[in-house]
Homo-oligomer: A and B are copies of this chain.
Amino acid sequence: MKAPRDFQNLKIFILEHNEKFPKRLRQVAVFALENPDEIAFGTAALIAGRAGVQPSTLVRFAQSIGYGGFSDLQAVFRDRLRERGSTYEERLDALSDTFGREGGNAILSGVVAAAGTSIDSLPATISAEEFNDAVRLLARAETLYLLAQRRSFPVTAYLAYMFGKLKIRVQLVSSPFGIDVEQMAFATKNDAAIAVSFAPYASPTVAHAQLLSEAGVPVVSITDSAFSPLAGLSKSWFQVAESDFGGFRSLSATMALATAIAIAIGEERRLKRKH
């Protein structure tokens, strides 16, 4: 038996052979895949204790899949951690010193790091419940009104495209024709709206959201803080904290959230239709 020397393939290998392992060795296999960090850092005695086996069993396990011993196996788990690049936050820190001095490479890495940070922190500010509630609310709507201006406009443009593909009726309320208010007059409480705005909040977006909200149309917002004027008038709202680089914010995390919302609504409708 010869197991691969890299973590990714080792994982697959172990999963495939899991049934063939005797009781205690399987115990080790399961523990290893579930607690890879423990394997990487712990000592044989410590890990064995946690996994409920003898240290010798760890060695036997490693040898049974073709490694020289436990230490050999541990090296694979350590390399896994080593090859994980540094955190986006660390990268941003490192770049903040050199901004302006270096060439375009620093700008690209900086924006990438900022986008990464934003995406990293996205799940933290959004609870599964809120997300599901909002999705259910939006999935019920006959027509979705999409509200955004300026920097946030690309988000609704993308949503409009996605909803189009999902065969969900939308009204993009950011037309250059100035008939926004007339458009929205058709909205009823059987519809719903998605409003996107970040500080400094574009006044048309807030006004439109207000108008719809007062007409009984449920509004779901994507914005940047609890102090946003959108937060108060929304049935539910999502906080997205886009990290900035040199004062510029990308839309990476907001786009990811928008994508998730669109997919989730599509999924919700698909399930409803089945019943």
Spell out A's residues near B (CB within 8 Å). 37, 40-41, 78, 81-82, 84-85, 87, 100, 103-105, 107-112, 114-116, 119-120, 122-123, 126, 128, 131-132, 135, 150-151, 153-155, 157-158, 161-162, 245-246, 248-253, 255-260, 262-264, 267-268
Contact between chains at B37 and A82 (CB < 8 Å): yes
Considering only CB atoms, which chain B residue lies closest to A157 in the complex? Answer: B154
Could you pull out 24 A-B pairs where Cβ atoms are within 8 angstroms? Answer: A81-B82, A81-B84, A84-B84, A104-B131, A105-B128, A107-B260, A108-B128, A108-B260, A109-B123, A111-B259, A112-B256, A112-B260, A115-B119, A115-B259, A119-B252, A153-B161, A154-B154, A154-B157, A162-B248, A249-B259, A250-B259, A251-B259, A252-B253, A252-B256
Q: How far, in whole Å, are A262 and B247 apart by their CA atoms in the complex?
A: 13
With a CB–CB cut-off of 8 A, which chain B residues contact A123?
108-109, 112
Q: How far is the CA of A85 from the CA of B258 in the complex (A)?
A: 23
A109 to chain B, nearest CB (A): 6
Contacting pair A104 B154 (CB below 8 A): no
Q: How far is the CA of A245 from the CA of B119 in the complex (A)?
A: 15
Q: Most chain-B CB neighbours within 10 Å: which of A104, A111, A116, A250?
A: A104
A157 partner, pick from B110, B122, B153, B264, beta carbons under 8 A: B153
CA distance A153 to B256 in the complex (A): 16
> Is there contact, CB below 8 Å, between B259 and A248?
yes
- Is there contact, CB below 8 Å, between A105 and B119? no
Set of chain B residues within 8 Å of A112, measured between Cβ atoms = 119, 122-123, 256, 260
Distance in angstroms between the alpha carbons of A81 and B105 in the assembled complex: 26
**Which B residues lie within 8 Å of A161 (CB)?**
150-151, 153-154
Interchain CB contact under 8 A, A84 and B82: no
Cross-chain contact A132 with B104 (CB below 8 angstroms): yes
Cα distance A252–B151 in the bound complex, in angstroms: 15
Q: Known contacts A154-B158, A252-B253, A255-B255: does B122 contact A105 (CB below 8 Å)? A: no
Residue of B nearest to A166 (CB): B248
Are A264's CB and B154's CB within 8 A?
Answer: no
Task: Given the known inter-chain contacts A112-B119, A252-B255, A256-B112, please indicate yes or no for A267 contacting B154, CB distance below 8 A.
Answer: no
- When distances are taken between beta carbons in the complex, the residues of chain B under 8 Å from A41 are 78, 82
> Is B103 a contact of A158 with CB atoms below 8 Å?
no
